[in-house]
Amino acid sequence: MSYLPLILVGYLQGFAEALWKSGLGWLLRTVRLDGMIPCGLNEVVRIQKFVQGGHVALHTDRPIRLEDGRVSKYSLRIFLNGSTDKHFEGGLSVFHVPFQDPVVFEPMTGLALLYPQGELCTPQEEAEVTFGTKYVLRADVIFRPALP
């Protein structure tokens, strides 16, 4: 059983758009998936708070579908603090790549992970925080049909 993080959900007006315009949109400008192109972040941005004992068990991120036909295809995770800053211990992000050793990321302040959702998503987990409190910003990259 997972000890899930406290999740603070917010609709901070303009925040998702500002984050997108800060360079993420430029970074993804040439991406095309299933005839769709990235067009922004979902307005629902989550801040996850992992206290001592907090973790998330092995899972894959699933896409979300919006009423207007847009769909998420990538997850964005930004570490708001880091174990290297001694704010917490543990809390590694582990991606279980098939037929290879797991790919492990040690949280560092400002480190961003961008990875696919759905069928292309690598199973992942957030290891247990053994001391302190870990904060992660989590958002979904939204795609729309490409114009002909």
Q: Where are the domains of the chain?
A: 6-145
Scored b (16 or more CB within 10 A) or e, 69-88 reads ebbbbbbbbbbbbbbeeebb
CA 144 – CA 33 distance, rounded (Å): 10
CB 81 within 8 A of CB 119: no
Cα three-residue angle 51-111-17, rounded to 5 degrees: 95
Q: What is the pTM of this model?
A: 0.89
Fold of 6-145: Jelly Rolls (2.60.120)
Sign of the Cα torsion 141, 63, 92, 49 reads: positive
> What pLDDT was estimated at residue 3?
52
Q: List the chain pLDDT tens, one digit each, 148 residues.
A: 445 566 666 666 688 999 999 999 999 999 999 999 999 999 888 889 999 999 999 999 999 999 999 999 999 999 999 988 888 999 999 999 999 999 999 999 999 999 999 988 999 999 999 999 999 999 999 999 998 7
> What pLDDT was estimated at residue 2?
47
Least Cα distance to 47 among 71, 22, 15, 89 occurs for: 15
